[in-house]
Structure 1
Amino acid sequence: MAQPGPKPRPALAVVREGNPGRRPVKEGVKLPPSVPVAPRWSEYFPGSSRPELRARQTATELWDRLAPSLARSAGLVNEQREVLIDYCVTWARIQQGERALSMEGPIASTERGNVKNPWSTLLNQYRSHLRSLIGELGLSPSAATRVSPRGGDGDDEDDIFD
């Protein structure tokens, strides 16, 4: 059963964003720092047809854009990469579905007559899943507004907020 109240934040997020209530910070599991390794996208998008090749390219570009910044800012490590893989796969499928829906149209003809294109239902499910992953990874605009730089002397060259 779910517990009431806000979801607990990871210890790194509490340290990064500040702890105005001075509540004890639960460290949780400590994983050694490691760079998330890109998966073989051909395992997630098998085949050599144009849609699969395009989905692989979309997932690769998204991974290359997000993995380094999430590793630096959120402390994402290789052992936690599955949520980012899931995000990339979901986004690639949404792109694939949008292209198919644009080409086929919103109405599909079947033996039973005209029906809603199945991609419409799939896209709604993928988007719902994408929203939960966005919240998990902290990629929404509202999550970005909650991240604020910590006060300091400003001499840190590796500060992600520079």
Structure 2
Amino acid sequence: MALPPSDLTEPDWGTVLGNGPGADKVKADVSDIWRRIVPALSAATRITNAQREVVITFCTAQARVWEAERLISRDGLLVVGANGVLVKNPATTVVNAYSSILRAARVELGLSPSAAARIAIPQNDDNADSDIWD
């Protein structure tokens, strides 16, 4: 299905992410990611508002990976568990889970090097009607 191009509208990250502890930093991260990738995606892939959820998923997953990485940096790879024994930091599980989501979203959006290589950018034919969406 071909959809007409449209500008992606940045969501209200407070609605998407809520306002719990640490939410302000995650919202700042996710907004920064959105503002960096959306212009390139719009130009290269003609992604539309009808498809923006995958962009939201990508931005959110990347921000969550960063959030979990900050926790790992702060607390270490091993933490003291409930029984007083060192255990793997639970944030490593979060990194793994969101990394899988991020990997899939990268492929969908053409943001991995291999996926980007498969994107065919439409060539502008000077003899053709340049506005195919009318």
TM-score category, normalised to shorter length: 0.7 to 0.9
Task: Tell me what 2:41 maps to.
Answer: 70
Task: Tell me what 1:157 maps to.
Answer: none
Task: Tell me what 1:34 maps to.
Answer: 6
Identity %: 35
Q: Higher helix fraction: Structure 1 or Structure 2?
A: 2
Which aligned pairs between 1:5-154 and structure 2 lie closer than 5 A? 29-47=1-19, 49=21, 51-112=22-83, 113-147=85-119
Aligned residues: 125
**Can you give the 5+ residue segments of structure 2 that lack an aligned partner in the other structure?**
127-134
Structure 2 length normalisation: TM-score?
0.82
**Can you give the 5+ residue segments of structure 1 that lack an aligned partner in the other structure?**
1-28, 155-162
When the two chains are superposed, the root-mean-square deviation of aligned CA atoms in Å is 2.2
Using a 3 Å threshold, how does the CA distance of structure 1 residues 56 and 149 change in structure 2: closer, same or farther?
Answer: closer
Instruction: Pick the structure with greater CA Rg.
Output: 1
How far apart, in 2, do the equivalents of 1:59 and 1:150 lie? 29
Query: Structure 1 counterpart of 2:70, which letter?
Result: R
Q: What whole-Å deviation, never above 9, does each CA across 1:42-75 have from its counterpart, x for those lacking one?
A: 12222264x2111111111111111122112101
Structure 1 length normalisation: TM-score?
0.69
How far apart, in 2, do the equivalents of 1:124 and 1:60 lie? 22
Using a 3 Å threshold, how does the CA distance of structure 1 residues 149 and 74 change in structure 2: closer, same or farther?
Answer: closer
Deviation at 1:37, TM superposition (A): 0.5
